[in-house]
Structure 1
């Protein structure tokens, strides 16, 4: 409950325009611990650096809540450019995309623009042997995102597109089971959006229990005739330890899952897991629209607030 109250308080404060203006006035320097840079070249350089430690990359161009079809198309074009640049640099592209950033909810030519642009992006990724993860956003978008995910898997294959489930949503266990026929690639996260208690669990213990249940269920589904793949996206060391024990106890292959963590957070743990033979991938955000992402990272841990305050005082 205290964790939930802390997150709500930080997200509420960070949502105030004067707070955003104050942080932005200090520039990208405050965000650079969590954000790889403001352009594709910086993000690709971060991937190459991590590869030296045996860590893979998941690139994400930051941007949310576009307001017109033109800006949605512009954002999609930037993602396509990222895929091209990654491929040219010798990287098999792996990117995350928020469907709201590419027009989800906007009808153009009788079809949802988010789906139209997602087809372009996943199609390009498939050309390069790459992968696109459709990020999950706040709860009103879940149904449409899952429906569009199903469409894209059917058109392009599960090897090239995945999505995310958030363990703090009460609905996620049923959502996972409903996707089993696709043998999907799912990224499991706890959830960082400010959600009402009617749809999201307010207590950390319940969120953690739900997280374990989702990961274990998806792993076991992959052992019973499916080809499910699990992205265990957490920095919670107790959960990581439990997952490692579960994998050993149930004979889960190491190529059936990976650990995913955020860029700039617990790099030591990422290296340690990679050295132990686990597949590890860092979520690498970049771009000029870094403030919403930055706010959610600050809301996750009190230590992150102290980091920002020290940076502002130095400024």
Structure 2
């Protein structure tokens, strides 16, 4: 409960325009800890630096307040440009997209624009042997996202597209079960949206317990599992679980955010586990940066100290 109150308080302050203006004016040097620059070259530079440390990448173009169909199409084109640029650099592209950013919920030509643009992106990724993860958003979008994920797997194959499940939603274990026939590649996260108590667990212990159940069930079903957490207790439990059940390290990977727990990312990679960093980039970095500050007081203190030094 304290974590929820802290997070809500920080996000409320971050929404103030005066705070945003201050952070944008003085905080880019700090934001670079969590955001890999504002353009494609800087993002690919971060990918190569992580590759040198044995860490894989998941690129995410940041975008906020994308509303018109024209903006959605342009955002999709920007992702396509990223895929082309990665391929030109000899990088097998792995990207995440929010379907709302490419038009989910907007009907154009008799079809959902998000699905139309997702087809373009997944098709291009498949051309390069790459992968697209459909990010999960707040709970009203879950049904449509899972339905479109199922459609894309049917068209392009599960080796080129996956999605995300959030353990804090009551419904998620049933959602995972319903996808088993696809043998889906799933990224398991705890969840970051401020959801009502009617649909989501509020107690951290309940969220963590649901997280473990989801990961264990997906691994036991023989499906590729992306264990996306910085929680060392959960990471250690997953290590013990796969060892006890004879599950290959090729059947899963640990995923973490760019710039967070870099020591843990490196140590896991050195132990021989597959590790992937979620790398955000783009000019619309402020909202993402605010969410990272809101996650822990430690992140907030990092920013305060940096601002005072500046």
Length-normalised TM-score, structure 2: 0.98
Contact 1:258 1:280 in 2 (8 A): yes
Matched, 1:221 2:221: yes
1:25 Cα offset (Å): 2.3
Matched, 1:203 2:203: yes
Tell me what 1:99 maps to.
99
**Deviation digits for residues 116-170 of structure 1 (CA, Å, limit 9, x no counterpart):** 0000000000000000000111111111111111110110000000000111111
Contact 2:129 2:160 in 1 (8 A): yes
1:249 corresponds, among 236, 244, 250, to: 244
CA distance, structure 2, for counterparts of residue 232 and residue 156 of structure 1:
24
CA distance, structure 2, for counterparts of residue 41 and residue 205 of structure 1:
41
CA distance, structure 2, for counterparts of residue 25 and residue 53 of structure 1:
32
Structure 1, unmatched stretches of 5+, are 223-227
Matched, 1:274 2:248: no
Contact 1:7 1:299 in 2 (8 A): yes
Number of aligned residue pairs: give it. Answer: 310
Matched, 1:187 2:182: no
Contact 1:98 1:136 in 2 (8 A): yes
Matched, 1:263 2:252: no
**Deviation digits for residues 183-227 of structure 1 (CA, Å, limit 9, x no counterpart):** 0000001111111111121111111111101100100111xxxxx
CA distance, structure 1, for counterparts of residue 18 and residue 147 of structure 2:
37
Q: Any idea what SS the aligned residue of 2:159 has?
A: coil
Tell me what 1:126 maps to.
126
Structure 2, unmatched stretches of 5+, are none
Matched, 1:173 2:168: no
CA distance, structure 2, for counterparts of residue 65 and residue 44 of structure 1:
25
CA distance, structure 1, for counterparts of residue 242 and residue 174 of structure 2:
23
CA distance, structure 2, for counterparts of residue 282 and residue 295 of structure 1:
19
1:296 Cα offset (Å): 1.4
Which sits farther off after the overlay, 97-106 or 154-163? 97-106
Q: Any idea what SS the aligned residue of 2:197 has?
A: coil
CA distance, structure 2, for counterparts of residue 197 and residue 145 of structure 1:
22
Change (3 A) 1:65 1:137: farther
Q: Compute the RMSD of aligned alpha carbons.
A: 1.0
Tell me what 1:90 maps to.
90
Contact 2:87 2:128 in 1 (8 A): yes
Contact 2:27 2:307 in 1 (8 A): no
Tell me what 2:151 maps to.
151
Change (3 A) 1:98 1:135: same
1:65 Cα offset (Å): 3.4
1:27 Cα offset (Å): 4.4
CA distance, structure 1, for counterparts of residue 251 and residue 78 of structure 2:
31
CA distance, structure 2, for counterparts of residue 291 and residue 139 of structure 1:
23
CA distance, structure 2, for counterparts of residue 65 and residue 171 of structure 1:
27
